[in-house]
Structure 1
């Protein structure tokens, strides 16, 4: 069996079929071999040897990324690693791949430097059902006749440089279960014909340059579980038809747009919604108290809006996992009890939320579950030392611009995972302990620290405006 590195999407049975290589035939069909070798000729760089097994005269069904049924290629899956250098291909996608007439699944993911326009040869593959060309460098417009690929059940073109509008013919892709056009440079509005894609489980148009209002297209999408429209220029209020998704929607991300109005009360009826992100919009008014009735809400981000009033206590029996209410007009006074008592929370961000409590009075149920905490720009007093010494999995802690007052030397047992610590613009005193040297980022500026600095890699800006700190990178200590 050949190596076949594909991500699991919606149809694991089909994916399994694509990954099979025939044991009945010693070689693959000559047309398939010719098409694959011609494609390899169009690759100018392959630093990690993704195509190293592709050698003329060998059985192409055994080549890396090639899947066969009998002696015909049915799946082609080439993948790099987005977070590892030199796991990519450079070059173009040869039209010779049209020779793969039995191809069902086409996956080119995280190859980064594959360039050129949308591959027209895809229109010549009569059995093609799945196309994923993601995180590459394709550019230009999407073809106006993209709807001619009407046999597709999955289409992922995210992470490229496609421009222009979403073609209206996309409404002909009525077999689609998944459509991902995110992270391109698409413009214009959402075609209302997308309402015809009533089998969709996932729709992602995020990270483009789309504009206008979000059309009222969701009433027919009775199966939609994930909707991402973030990082565009959408304006206006949420369309009422989103309420039709309440029985099935698990994930809703509308962040980083220009949406306005109040948060719709109908969101409270979403009984299975796990993640809600409305951040970086222009929502105003109070958070509906009925949001407390959402039993599955695990991730909530309402930051960077104009919201005010109290925040309802969410009643998820498993507790909240991530919460960001930063940069609104809240006056919470304290970290809410329903947050503190959550057994699941790992990310808490309450920047500029009007919190005036003492840190000494904050007793989270389990400090070890926190990964990220940002309580900056409040009026929190007291000492976070106990929490910081107990939180063994903490990556980031930020509490700048508060009224914290404690001896920094109390930080004797910082998490080995801690990468970022920002305590700037407080009233912290004492000496800087050597325990901070292992951090990636540190800001202790504008406090009352004194004494010789330990050896660290941080710039002077991390220590400026303290009472009497000295030593590199600050001026040397006086003898």
Structure 2
């Protein structure tokens, strides 16, 4: 056999290739070590934040361990090119009692110089004043510190954060007035200060925030007239001012928002005068809430143009007939309760809606036999309030076709039916059929309801074991058993 040595690898080639192999391994190991190393300032800033947290029952920050890659920590995002931390996003879950953080915001966060967005939402127990050290972060554009326990005044120096594109401090305990220098934040597209304890007037300077798409000041103690400055906001889509102490009329400049505004919420104030006709021009309107004010007169005929509206709430005002015929193709929720309407019928555009889940027409002068009302959809109803009308017949067919019903209020009508035939759904939590003409026994299924009132009817027999007070059952013909008098042997 001929063996050609020229085909065999030389000793020097073998050594060279072996060296190259080990060099490659060492290089990869070196790169991997560098890849898992967090920037010193970023790590220090984040661990300083963690040290300010006194309680973390759900282990939200368990992955925040010194010496590991902080870009892999929960709630942390890094820039792709330089691996610097640019976002902190920690969010609690409202339906989980342990998904909270208790503690304060550490000034060490100011070390994270590339931070662009800070999102601390629904953590519930983060306390302390407004974190002024955030002013030391040159790249910060988005602040969402929502549903926590921050308190004190919002400082005027917040006006120095001129790069901010969004500021949300909603759901905290801030007091005092809205700082006037907030008008310096001219790059803001979102300003959300709702659900705090703020008082005083809306600063006129807010009209300088021309890029706003979302303005939310609801659930505070703001007062005075709503400023007439809305012609400055060409991009505004959401305006939420409900649950304050505003007075006066709806300002005319709101009419300039018609092309784009989707949500107009002014409920639970002390606004007065007539509902302006120009609201009928808001063809992009999804939600209109004018409830619990002091509006008088009729609802404008122009409301017939609101073909895309899904949520309409005009309840608890002083509005009078006639209510306009609307051309809504699919209303989701409607509340016209407690005005001076005499509708006689449930409107056809309500009956034909395939997506309605909330219908509240208390004290609206409705005179129908409920068995004759045949809505297109009943399955998705969550809330129905027809109390204080002249409705006769039975609720059995209607309620037995609902699967998601949470509350039914039908008190002070002329309903007459056998209560035992009513199917009580598992989701039903509130049932009020008081002051009607129901008969039969109280079925055992009602004990699963949280709040019950079947008083002043013609019910009879022994009550099932229940948790309700006597007021839920008084005024019937012959009910007995706890919490009423014992049944006779």
TM-score w.r.t. the length of structure 2 is 0.90
**1:438 alignment counterpart:** 448
- Matching of residues 350-429 of structure 1 within 5 Å: 350-411=361-422, 413-429=423-439
- Matching of residues 256-335 of structure 1 within 5 Å: 256-317=268-329, 319-335=330-346
Cα drift, residue 461 of structure 1:
2.5
Greater C-alpha radius of gyration: 2
**2:47 alignment counterpart:** 37
Distance 1:257 1:23 in 2: 60
- CA change 1:326–1:33 in 2 (3 A) is same
- Matching of residues 198-277 of structure 1 within 5 Å: 198-277=210-289
**2:13 alignment counterpart:** none
Cα drift, residue 163 of structure 1:
1.1
Distance 1:372 1:452 in 2: 30
Distance 1:196 1:264 in 2: 25
Unaligned runs of 5+ in 2: 1-31
Asked if 1 retains the 8 angstrom alpha-carbon contact of 2:185 and 2:209, the reply is yes
Is 1:468 the counterpart of 2:463? The answer is no
Cα drift, residue 35 of structure 1:
1.3
What secondary structure is seen at the aligned counterpart in 1 of 2:85?
strand
Distance 1:261 1:408 in 2: 44
Distance 1:114 1:423 in 2: 44
Is 1:140 the counterpart of 2:152? The answer is yes
Distance 1:346 1:310 in 2: 25
Distance 1:24 1:339 in 2: 64
In the TM superposition, structure 1's runs of 4+ consecutive aligned residues that sit over 6 Å from their partners are: none
Asked if 1 retains the 8 angstrom alpha-carbon contact of 2:297 and 2:319, the reply is yes
Distance 1:237 1:307 in 2: 15
What secondary structure is seen at the aligned counterpart in 2 of 1:219?
helix
Asked if 2 retains the 8 angstrom alpha-carbon contact of 1:27 and 1:71, the reply is no
**2:132 alignment counterpart:** 120
**2:17 alignment counterpart:** none
What secondary structure is seen at the aligned counterpart in 1 of 2:59?
coil
Distance 1:154 1:314 in 2: 37
Asked if 2 retains the 8 angstrom alpha-carbon contact of 1:176 and 1:199, the reply is yes
Cα drift, residue 410 of structure 1:
2.1
- CA change 1:96–1:276 in 2 (3 A) is same
Distance 2:466 2:255 in 1: 54
What secondary structure is seen at the aligned counterpart in 2 of 1:193?
helix
- CA change 1:23–1:393 in 2 (3 A) is farther
- CA change 1:188–1:27 in 2 (3 A) is same
Q: Structure 1, residues 310-359: CA drift from partner, whole Å, max 9, x if none?
A: 21122122x21110001111111222222212222111001111122222
Asked if 2 retains the 8 angstrom alpha-carbon contact of 1:27 and 1:61, the reply is no
Q: Structure 1, residues 261-307: CA drift from partner, whole Å, max 9, x if none?
A: 00000000011101000001110100011101112111100001010
Is 1:338 the counterpart of 2:338? The answer is no
- CA change 1:145–1:353 in 2 (3 A) is same
TM-score w.r.t. the length of structure 1 is 0.92
- CA change 1:464–1:24 in 2 (3 A) is farther
Cα drift, residue 24 of structure 1:
7.3
Asked if 1 retains the 8 angstrom alpha-carbon contact of 2:369 and 2:391, the reply is yes
Distance 1:239 1:23 in 2: 62
- CA change 1:23–1:292 in 2 (3 A) is farther
Aligned with 1:81 (options 82, 87, 93): 93
Distance 1:252 1:90 in 2: 35
**2:467 alignment counterpart:** 457
Q: Structure 1, residues 449-478: CA drift from partner, whole Å, max 9, x if none?
A: 001122333333221221111123323321
What secondary structure is seen at the aligned counterpart in 2 of 1:147?
helix
Cα drift, residue 438 of structure 1:
2.8
**1:19 alignment counterpart:** none
Asked if 1 retains the 8 angstrom alpha-carbon contact of 2:60 and 2:74, the reply is yes
Structure 1 stretch 226-235 or stretch 375-384: which is displaced more? Answer: 375-384
Provide the aligned C-alpha RMSD in A. 1.6
**2:12 alignment counterpart:** none
Q: What is the count of residue pairs matched by the alignment?
A: 456
Cα drift, residue 96 of structure 1:
1.0
**1:50 alignment counterpart:** 60
Distance 1:345 1:410 in 2: 25
Cα drift, residue 364 of structure 1:
1.2
Is 1:196 the counterpart of 2:203? The answer is no
**1:178 alignment counterpart:** 190
**1:164 alignment counterpart:** 176
Cα drift, residue 23 of structure 1:
11
Aligned with 1:66 (options 76, 79, 85): 76
Asked if 1 retains the 8 angstrom alpha-carbon contact of 2:186 and 2:209, the reply is yes
What secondary structure is seen at the aligned counterpart in 2 of 1:367?
coil
